[in-house]
Structure 1
Amino acid sequence: QSNQETKILLVMDQGFYDLHTNLADEIKQWFTFHKHLHLKNIFIVSGGEEIKNSQDTLQSIWNEIHQHDICKHSFVACIGGGSLLDVCGFACATAHRGIPLIRIPTTLLAMDDSAAGVKNSINYFHKKNFIGTFTPPYCVINDIKFLESLGHRDWLSGIAEAIKVALIRDSAFFHYIESNDNLILNRDKDAVLKLVERSAELHLNHIASGDPFERTSSRPLDFGHWMAHALEQKSNYSIKHGEAVAAGIALDVMYSFHAGFLPEDECNRILKLFRNFGFTIYYSYMEDIIHERKNNQVKAMEEFREHLGGELTITMLEGIGKGMDIHSIQLAVLIRSLQELKIA
């Protein structure tokens, strides 16, 4: 926009940095060939869900923005998983009322789901994503090579979110995942590239064409998440987000069948796919969750409603690729669904 240098602050996940020890030097070298860009600092910070449970990481990023005079004509680039992208995104959205953010995700879940979105947040009052904003990133850069060092549990977490969006939006994509489960599980590059591209595309299309700032009560992209969020919290985040999403989806798929929405053969196909990938689809915590009450409602559902606003709206399935909204839950059907999931 001018002859002035553009300042960039780079925030990087500590775990990723430790696995890619030459990356920081390579980044610094790259900037020597782009004189119009001024790399102010590479700030290394811890990642993982736990950084969202306090303001420490958020405040440290704000401090970096302040110390290095990062302004609205500067950029912050964040290299990390979904949790760090969340916290860094919130820091950028609130500092100077908005600093452009470049998201560079390093996990499958972030690449195929959260990095394509417009949300950022931290947890508060022991509630997931209680404080946050809707702020689109300046851009998202997905580099599949960054997934080579990803651990198995984080790999599965990303697969869960791809299955989720396929179930509510695209039966052909579900069939693709189903037909290529071994290739995806074994990290075949072409199969993974298609998984990331289609999943991110479906997430982005929904956001762009529907309700990007969540003014209504319907949240199809949160399919399975009423249980998932409670499961993460109940386990003190020892269960990863994608793992919790897989169990939450499995429960809602079973409920959709027993409530008469979803054909039995499609229910069985979905549960079989989760099993093929090695997901745990039942946790004992789920028993406690469905029996806790708040305002005469399952507590987790009521807190999910409070977070979304408006009337209770839960996404269920009437077919693979066909989500539907319901506004009340039959507790007896929910309990039966969980018991059958336990032995499935």
Structure 2
Amino acid sequence: MVTKPVALWGFMGSGKTSVGKALAQKLGYEFVDTDELVAQRFGKPIPQIFAEEGEAAFRRMETQVLSELIQRQRIVLATGGGMPTVPENLAMLRLNALNFYLRVPVEVLYERLATAQDRPLLQGFSDRYFRIASLLAQRERFYTQAQFILSCGRKPPEQIAEQIFAWVRALDDGDDAVTVDLGARSYPVVIGDNLLERLERIFAAVPLSEPFAIIADESVAEPLGEKVQERLQRLGKAHLVTVPSGEGSKSVEQAIRLWQWLADLALPRNGTIVAVGGGVVGDLAGFVAATYMRGVAFVQIPTTLLAMVDSAIGGKTAIDLPQAKNLVGAFHQPRLVLCDLTTLATMPDRPFLAGLAEVVKYGVIADPALFTYLDEQAEWIVRRHPIALRVIIARSASVKASVVVADEREETGLRMVLNYGHTFGHALEAATGFSLLHGEAVAIGMTAEAYLAWRLGLCDREVLERQTEVLRKLELPTHLSQVPDAPPVALDTLMAAMGRDKKRRGTTLRFALPKRLGEVTITDAPVPETLLTEAWEFVFCQ
């Protein structure tokens, strides 16, 4: 159970105080309204503080109050509407509290605030609706950094408090979460230790309905699949089936087998499919969930690092055909992604390290702070320290979630940024008969593409050099000779494999290439074949 501060975020009028009081009563925790405490410190009401001292003075006192409260336990905080928009406050809250954004539509906020006289940031505006909408839009990017986003609308405070209470009861202080913010289809990615030991409470918090159909990779069915089944049987009926390990299970035959299994169980539309394993099982179970009875709820419980930071998030599900991978699929978002760090303890070194390539990718394309953390904490990451793993998985999930929200169904091209390292990487996988792990191919692919970006004048060589250094610290390959038992491959074979890349437009290959750490650009103009050859030679000969 969470004992660190539980903080409620949201716009003025979103109900933080009424929800907070109801929640504190249910938990038996202390309740503090930070606005009230700031007013007490000044000895005057907030409108008077703004009028006489100014907003800057109010914000300074707000930060001081938060720095004191954040150190306490068993406390519910109703934060001021602008508190999370201050970087220092945002950092304190994200690091030290379990945070819930109470999202309320503009029209409801306007109903509650239309005649309010105690809101200094709304005074003096002739069009109060527009003022609320514009101020909320400015703050939304801060509010959505809370671990959980709750769509509150006109729900009574007690109902919202009950929902938060379920999560506080289900989680521990060391857990973290990221919400993939897709409106009514939003879902949390929960990261922590020993989550499977609390599985029934977490499922109840979502909430998810029984009966549960658990599809597990046979390599983790004992004990992980069986543990999931045992915990979920506390909520109702839970059935377990296994699928063989390996890409071969992403097949029409396995999908048919699973559809028939679900039909034999008479799984209803309100039942829940649970995937336990790596990316193969997640893709397969997700596709089965998307198509059985035209779509049922499903949960991802990834047990590999690669699946935790990449394939389990985003709703892309698929099976393979003999002609190519992932040709038959659907976009079907999970209801929950559960990353139990203890499942990584028994992963063999090679696939664990390979999974780190996708984490490096996120640092290069969108998160320089994550890249720096990988550089500085590489030793602890390689040794699988739980705190280090929680940090990199949460930061990776945050980047992936932001891209998915911006381009869920790959319609705008924004999701293309996730392809960094993959145009070369996919070609390398195919040309070597998939003898490389995906992460190994991506690491080499990122090296080739960073080299290409430098040669095209898109970035300084320092980007390539820093990336190479971090990949090596994380024991990832930067050229083919570093991969155990990698077969020889001809350049023309690689070039032919690149020509079949799914992201191309006509015959033009498209790349997501770095401009600097944290920013990439998409190339639409043809890249000279001589530079592509040079980039391949770089990762073969360096």
Please tell me the residue identity of whatever aligns with 1:329: V
CA distance change for structure 1 residues 179 and 101 in 2, over 3 Å: closer, same or farther? same
Q: Secondary structure at the match of 2:312?
A: helix
Instruction: Give the drift of 1:28.
Output: 4.5
SS in 2 for 1:137: coil
Q: Select the residue among 152, 163, 167 that pairs with 2:364.
A: 167
Query: 1:27 Cα shift?
Result: 4.0
In structure 2, which of residues 410, 421, 425 is the aligned counterpart of residue 214 of structure 1? 410
Q: For 1:83-122, what aligned pairs fall within 5 Å after superposition?
A: 83-122=280-319
**Residue identity matched to 2:498:** A
2:464 match:
267
Preserved CA contact (<8 Å) 1:85 1:103:
yes
- Give distance in 2, aligned partners of 1:324 and 1:127: 28
For structure 1, list consecutive stretches of 5 or more residues without a partner in the other structure. 293-298
1:144 corresponds in structure 2 to: 341
3-state secondary structure, aligned to 2:409: coil
Q: Is the 8 A contact 1:290 1:335 kept in 2?
A: no
Per-residue deviation at 1:286?
6.9
1:302 Cα offset (Å): 4.4
- The alpha-carbon deviation at position 179 of structure 1 amounts to 0.8
Gaps spanning 5+ residues in structure 2: where?
1-203, 481-487
SS in 1 for 2:443: helix
RMSD (CA atoms): 2.2
Deviation at 1:92, TM superposition (A): 1.0
Q: Check conservation: 1:167, 1:320, Cα contact below 8 A.
A: yes
Preserved CA contact (<8 Å) 2:214 2:229: no
Q: Please give the secondary structure, in 2, of the residue aligned with 1:116.
A: coil
Q: Structure 1 residues 45 and 139, CA, compared in 2 at 3 Å: closer, same or farther?
A: same
Could you list the per-position Cα deviations for residues 16-40 of structure 1 after superposition, in whole angstroms to 9, with x for gaps in the alignment? 124x3xx455444434533xx211x
Q: Could you tell me which residue of structure 1 aligns to residue 215 of structure 2?
A: 11
**Contact map agreement 2:318 2:326 (CA 8 A) in 1:** yes
Q: Which amino acid aligns with 2:378?
A: D
Which of 264, 274, 285 is matched with 1:67 structurally? Answer: 264
Label 1:67 to 1:203 Cα distance change in 2 as closer, same or farther (>3 A).
same
Distance in structure 1 (CA, Å) of the matches to 2:420 and 2:228: 38
Deviation at 1:121, TM superposition (A): 1.0
Partner residue in 2 for 1:38: 237
- Secondary structure at the aligned position of 2:220 is classed as helix
Counterpart of 1:56, as a letter, is E
Q: What is the total number of aligned residue pairs between the two structures?
A: 326
Mapped to 2, the partners of 1:176 and 1:279 lie a distance apart of 16
Q: Distance in 2 between matches of 1:234 and 1:262?
A: 28
Give the aligned partner of residue 523 of structure 2: 326
Contact 1:85–1:115 (8 Å) recurs in 2: yes
The residue type paired with residue 374 of structure 2 is I
Higher relative contact order (CA 8 A, sep 6+): 1
Identity of aligned residues (%): 25
Return the TM-score normalized by structure 2: 0.57
**2:396 match:** 199
Instruction: Return the TM-score normalized by structure 1.
Output: 0.88
Bigger Rg over Cα = 2
One-letter amino acid matched to 1:33: R
Report how far residue 64 of structure 1 moved: 1.4
Residue 167 of structure 1 aligns to a residue whose secondary structure is helix
- Name which of 489, 503, 510 aligns with 1:313: 510
1:341 aligns with: 539
Q: How far off is 1:227 after superposition?
A: 2.2
